[in-house]
């Protein structure tokens, strides 16, 4: 069999796999936080400074804000200004493709062949796709994958330099608060280098890892928020944190979701499969498994180290996977994959169209799922008092109304800025729990903008103190009696 004939299916499979990954963001709804992120980027560009207090809401106006994702926000705004939202979709589609390829390379380094590595990288994507969108967290997934790639090569194969990690960390600390996971990963690598070295050579073996960890710690100080940026990630620690209690992605994953079920199956396979485990695998997979079980947002990071260990175990159980694709005796499986993946891609597009969700191909992000008509109604409405808005619509209100947004926004995705007390008051009010009326009085609420399924809507609908001013399939507006319309 000729070399060209062997590689023809591979050249078809990899682009098809990559194309599915690339198209993912075109099929995703606009992330609720994108709206305020791009508005923050606009503020930074227009004012030439990074905000250190909240300019967007009336409940937290002037309150300290650590804008730890400032560089991501500048990128969002700059790309949107130049190319529209679709430019950001293309950018993040390319980033997802790069992450997929890095995961592919990480698994190839564990001794598995091309087909097995592509399979493992695709398992990662299926498991992580729910968290992958045009959002700053994707930068953490990218830079974490690069960090694992560099550290694992040096630790297990004694290849490559560790020093690229310093500029990676400098970039990371200004893009997203997940940089602290990168520092933790370097700490784990330092411990593993010490444990895995031969007696008498342990400190010399661990020294390069310790040095790069110290260099990266120094690099994290090069940010406009100084030490506050280093302390920020730890604000999410503790069981009393409102984000951990109320924000879905910070809670434990729901394994009834088919994509998240893949994570549970993968974890079960890793536990059940026999084979050796290095200290690196044990500490990384074990630590990130705990993090992912506590908060679903960590599943993409867990998936990277989990499929790496999966590849290592598969090589021990299925030696045929070590062989290069050139040595495979038959290409039938490869041709089947060439037929299956386009069907998967077409199915994804079909499901998106069936859900009536527009594809992300325009200059503006789609407002599917956001109260566009209700906001337009509010613009022409003469009212008194503040607005109580739905949590996941706060970012859109900031984008649609800034710089007047401080009149509109009760709460948005910046739960760290608003604090636990406001989050608790919001949940009490929209849940129509005892004391809801006192919360509305406390914040001077004269207008309520919520989805029709909120418990508070049912209560206001029968209240003599409130009347419905606007409704559509997505949202409803109530005004307090005495508020002009």
Rounded CA Rg of the chain: 25
Summarize pLDDT for 125-177 with one digit per residue, the tens: 988 888 899 999 999 999 999 999 999 999 999 999 999 999 999 999 999 99
Which residues are CB-contacts of 302 (< 8 A; sequence separation ≥ 6)?
263, 285, 288, 289, 291, 292
Q: How far from 456 is each of 247, 353, 396, 434, CA to CA, in Å?
A: 19, 32, 21, 11
Task: Give the pLDDT score at 459.
Answer: 96
Task: Give the pLDDT score at 276.
Answer: 79
Task: Give the pLDDT score at 483.
Answer: 57
Summarize pLDDT for 397-429 with one digit per residue, the tens: 999 998 888 888 999 999 888 988 999 999 999
Query: Comparing 8-17, 80-89, 143-152, 211-220, which segment has the lowest mean pLDDT?
Result: 8-17
Query: Comparing 47-61, 63-77, 158-172, 189-203, which segment has the lowest mean pLDDT?
Result: 189-203
CA distance 161 to 275: 29
CA distance 332 to 322: 19
- Look at the block and give the residue holding tokens 């607005």: 387
CA distance 171 to 42: 20
**Beta 466-471 vs 476-480: how paired, if at all?**
antiparallel
Residue 368: count of CB within 10 angstroms of its CB:
14
pLDDT over threshold 50, residue 203 = yes
Which residues are CB-contacts of 453 (< 8 A; sequence separation ≥ 6)?
none
For residue 402, give the nearest of 32, 43, 30, 31 by alpha carbon: 43
Task: Give the pLDDT score at 198.
Answer: 85
Task: Give the pLDDT score at 4.
Answer: 44
CA distance 402 to 396: 10
Q: How far from 458 is each of 3, 135, 439, 476, CA to CA, in Å?
A: 68, 34, 17, 11
Three-state DSSP at 21 gives helix
Under 8 Å between Cβ of 361 and 83: no
Task: Give the pLDDT score at 6.
Answer: 46
Which residues are CB-contacts of 421 (< 8 A; sequence separation ≥ 6)?
none
Tokens (6 digits) for 333:
């499986």
For residue 400, give the nearest of 365, 366, 383, 375 by alpha carbon: 375
Does the bond joining 403 to the residue before it have cis omega, within 30 degrees of 0? yes
Summarize pLDDT for 453-462 with one digit per residue, the tens: 999 999 999 9
Task: Give the pLDDT score at 2.
Answer: 43
Q: Show the CA angle centred on residue 83, arms to residues 41 and 52, nearest 5°.
A: 0
Per-residue pLDDT band for 353 (boundaries 50, 70, 90) equals low
Which residues are CB-contacts of 474 (< 8 A; sequence separation ≥ 6)?
369, 370, 371, 373, 374, 451, 452
Per-residue pLDDT band for 15 (boundaries 50, 70, 90) equals confident
- In order, the DSSP letters of 124-171 are HHHHHGGG-SSSTHHHHHHHHHHHHHHHHHHHHH--S-STTHHHHHHH
Task: Give the pLDDT score at 3.
Answer: 44
The helix (run of H) or strand (run of E) holding residue 265 is helix 258-272
Strand positions, DSSP E, 295-444: 386-389
Backbone torsion region of residue 369, taken as left when φ is above 0, otherwise alpha when ψ lies between -120 and 50, otherwise beta: left
> pLDDT: is 15 or 113 the higher one?
113
pLDDT over threshold 70, residue 334 = no
Summarize pLDDT for 215-264 with one digit per residue, the tens: 999 999 999 988 887 787 777 665 556 666 667 787 777 776 766 677 77
DSSP 359: P
Under 8 Å between Cβ of 326 and 3: yes
How much is the average pLDDT of 434-459? 95
Residue 279: count of CB within 10 angstroms of its CB:
16
Which residues are CB-contacts of 468 (< 8 A; sequence separation ≥ 6)?
460, 461, 476, 477, 478
For residue 40, give the nearest of 15, 24, 57, 18 by alpha carbon: 57
Per-residue pLDDT band for 1 (boundaries 50, 70, 90) equals very low
pTM of the entire predicted model: 0.90
Q: What is the mean pLDDT of the chain?
A: 86
How much is the average pLDDT of 199-216? 92
Under 8 Å between Cβ of 189 and 209: yes
């Amino acid at each position: 069999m000729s070399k060209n004939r062997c590689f023809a299916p591979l050249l078809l499979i990899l682009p098809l796999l990559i194309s599915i990954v690339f198209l993912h963001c075109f099929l995703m709804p606009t992330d609720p936080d994108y709206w305020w992120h791009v508005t923050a980027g606009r503020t930074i560009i227009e004012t030439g400074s990074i905000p250190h207090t909240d300019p967007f809401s009336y409940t937290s106006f002037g309150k300290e804000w650590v804008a730890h994702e400032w560089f991501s926000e500048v990128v969002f705004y700059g790309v949107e200004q130049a190319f529209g939202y679709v430019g950001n979709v293309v950018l993040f589609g390319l980033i997802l493709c790069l992450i997929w390829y890095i995961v592919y390379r990480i698994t190839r380094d564990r001794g598995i062949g091309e087909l097995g590595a592509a399979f493992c990288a695709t398992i990662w994507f299926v498991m992580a796709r729910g968290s992958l969108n045009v959002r700053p967290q994707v930068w953490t997934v990218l830079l974490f994958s690069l960090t694992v790639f560099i550290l694992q090569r040096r630790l297990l194969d004694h290849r490559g330099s560790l020093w690229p990690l310093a500029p990676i960390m400098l970039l990371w600390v200004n893009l997203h608060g997940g940089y602290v996971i990168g520092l933790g990963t370097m700490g784990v690598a330092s411990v593993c280098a010490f444990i895995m070295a031969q007696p008498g050579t342990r400190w010399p073996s661990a020294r390069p890892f310790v040095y790069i960890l110290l260099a990266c710690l120094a690099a994290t100080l090069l940010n406009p928020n100084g030490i506050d940026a280093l302390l920020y990630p730890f604000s999410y620690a503790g069981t009393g944190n409102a984000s951990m209690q109320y924000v879905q992605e910070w809670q434990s994953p729901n394994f009834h979701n088919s994509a998240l079920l893949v994570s549970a199956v993968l974890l079960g396979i890793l536990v059940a499969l026999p084979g050796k485990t290095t200290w690196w695998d044990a500490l990384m997979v074990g630590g990130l498994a705990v993090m992912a079980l506590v908060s679903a947002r960590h599943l993409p990071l867990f998936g990277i180290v989990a499929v790496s260990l999966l590849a290592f175990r598969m090589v021990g159980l299925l030696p045929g996977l070590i062989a290069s694709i050139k040595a495979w005796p038959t290409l039938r499986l490869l041709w089947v994959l060439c037929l299956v993946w386009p069907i998967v891609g077409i199915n994804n597009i079909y499901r998106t169209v069936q859900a009536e969700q527009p594809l992300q191909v325009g200059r503006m992000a789609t407002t599917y799922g956001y109260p566009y008509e209700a906001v337009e109604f509010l613009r022409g409405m003469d009212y008194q008092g503040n607005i109580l808005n739905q949590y996941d619509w706060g970012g859109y209100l900031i984008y649609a109304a800034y710089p007047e947004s401080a009149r509109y926004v009760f709460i948005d995705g910046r739960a760290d800025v608003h604090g636990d007390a406001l989050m608790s008051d919001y949940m009490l009010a929209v849940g129509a729990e005892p004391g809801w009326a006192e919360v509305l009085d406390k914040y001077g609420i004269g207008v309520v903008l919520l989805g029709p399924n909120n418990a508070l809507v049912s209560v206001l609908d029968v209240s003599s103190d409130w009347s419905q001013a606007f409704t559509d399939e997505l949202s409803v507006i109530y005004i307090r009696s005495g508020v002009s319309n």
